[in-house]
Structure 1
Amino acid sequence: MPPDFDVVGRLIRFNRLDVGDLRLLTVGFRITDQPGEKWTARFNQFKYGENAAVEAAARTFCGAFEGFRYGEDLRIAVVSAISSGHTTLDPRTPAARLGRALAQSRGWEWLPGLLSKTAHPSLSSMGSAANRDSTVDGVYSAAAISGEPGVVLVVDDFCTRGATLADIARAIRASNPDWRVRAASLAKTERADYWQGTLTNAHIPAVLDSAWRGVGRST
């Protein structure tokens, strides 16, 4: 069976991740053992920082959130995960560009300086899930957010088990206990073999394919 998710408008939602207590909104799957799959190939181009793919991903991500609501008149602030070797957010990274584009498209607050962290090795170089999880455990810190509390939306490029998102949530809650934390990523990293070959991106609507290709409007 494929992983359990709900379709929410143009997004899919995971009600639980392997690590932490966050739910995840995402566009689709980055299927690591099917690199030729259309959306996986696109997500990989984004991962490698190809400028055209980053711009296409931003259009698609923003288009996926059209019509989505956390609540009327609710204050929403957006932050992005920090690259492994950095201690603060580099605005040139794909994840930062994704978060900034989403905040601007929805009129949400963009807080690029809220988070800081200890630099650590790249998780992609680690073989075991336990090592990846422990590497990002306790590395993030968050500043206090002034004013009326609301929702902090944490944006990452890809989510595998949720360890990075969980540590960011821990840091934000420690400094901002009255704020709620939610999570979103461009894609969820999975292996088709693990799900016995049933994993697809067939749920992604045609309007988002057009958004990626820059054809017409995403509405």
Structure 2
Amino acid sequence: MIGFNSKAGWMEFPYLTVSAGLTSTYALAYKLTDNTGEKWTSRFIRFKNKDTKAYYGGARLLYAAFPPLLKAMKLEGEDCAFVSVLSSSETAADPERQMPYITSQLAVAVGAHSSVAALTKQAHNKLHNFYKADQRDAELDKAQYVCGALPAANVFVFDDFVTRGGTLSRVAQAIRLSNPEAKVYGVALAKTERVNFCPHPNNDQVPQGWDKIWTDGESEVA
């Protein structure tokens, strides 16, 4: 089981199964693949399925929860660059897709540099088509991530969900190849986990106020 520290309500993972290039990774809550009825898990599933209400709920929670995390890390927005992970079919970020859009808006909100255009890759097959770790790793290697020069040394890479860390790690290594002094942090809505693998994972650690923020976000959708 990979443990986490609590920081500004977030789960801070000092390392993941695959962590090369990453300083640490942050997630709001768990997404439990074998307990889909759990409240936060069901929200994350709807977000993944492009449910508009869940999109607003997730976005509003990230906008509210990230600034306190940045403050707890004793970082200023101007010293940070924000990058978004690309979908399997993308070679560059679609600025209107969920995570690139949220990443850019959050950068504006905290005064950071939006650098979603700095990352490129090759298209590859969707990872959920592969069930074995070595197969997923082989598919991820096809992505061949490349990152341009970034305007800040603290780089935050945003994704919807993190499981083993394979994607984030490859992005982080690409960032550090062209920005060798960079510290790279992963940020995700949720850490995917299985109850049968990780003893007693739950979302009891989620701050109570975050529930209302998500709900209020969903209420914005008619």
TM-score, length basis structure 1: 0.90
**Percent identity at matched positions?**
34
Work out the CA distance in 1 between the residues paired with 2:203 and 2:49. Answer: 20
- Alignment partner of 1:157 out of 160, 166, 178: 160
Q: Residue 41 of structure 1 aligns to which amino acid in structure 2?
A: S
1:7 aligns with 2:6: yes
Work out the CA distance in 2 between the residues paired with 1:204 and 1:29. Answer: 9
Gapped runs of 5+ residues in structure 1? none
C-alpha displacement of 1:72: 4.5
130-139 or 82-91, which moves further after superposition?
130-139
Q: Residue 138 of structure 2 aligns to which amino acid in structure 1?
A: S
- Alignment partner of 2:113 out of 97, 109, 132: 109
Work out the CA distance in 2 between the residues paired with 1:145 and 1:94. Answer: 22
**Counterpart position of 1:90:** 94
TM-score, length basis structure 2: 0.89
**Counterpart position of 1:59:** 60
Residues 139-181 of structure 1: CA deviation (Å, up to 9, x unaligned): 20011125xx421100011001001001101111111112221
**Counterpart position of 1:190:** 193
Q: Residue 8 of structure 2 aligns to which amino acid in structure 1?
A: G
**Counterpart position of 1:33:** 34
For the 8 Å contact 1:49–1:93, the answer to whether it is kept is: no
Residues 33-78 of structure 1: CA deviation (Å, up to 9, x unaligned): 1111100000011101112211110111122223222335461010
C-alpha displacement of 1:14: 0.7
**Counterpart position of 1:71:** 74
- Is the partner of 2:68 in helix, strand or coil? coil
> Which of the pair is proportionally richer in helix?
2
Calculate the aligned-residue CA RMSD, in Å: 1.6
Q: Residue 204 of structure 1 aligns to which amino acid in structure 2?
A: V
- Is the partner of 1:66 in helix, strand or coil? helix
For the 8 Å contact 1:27–1:204, the answer to whether it is kept is: yes
Work out the CA distance in 1 between the residues paired with 2:85 and 2:174. Answer: 12
- Is the partner of 2:190 in helix, strand or coil? strand
For the 8 Å contact 1:58–1:101, the answer to whether it is kept is: no
- Is the partner of 1:79 in helix, strand or coil? strand
For the 8 Å contact 1:58–1:97, the answer to whether it is kept is: no
103-112 or 70-79, which moves further after superposition?
70-79
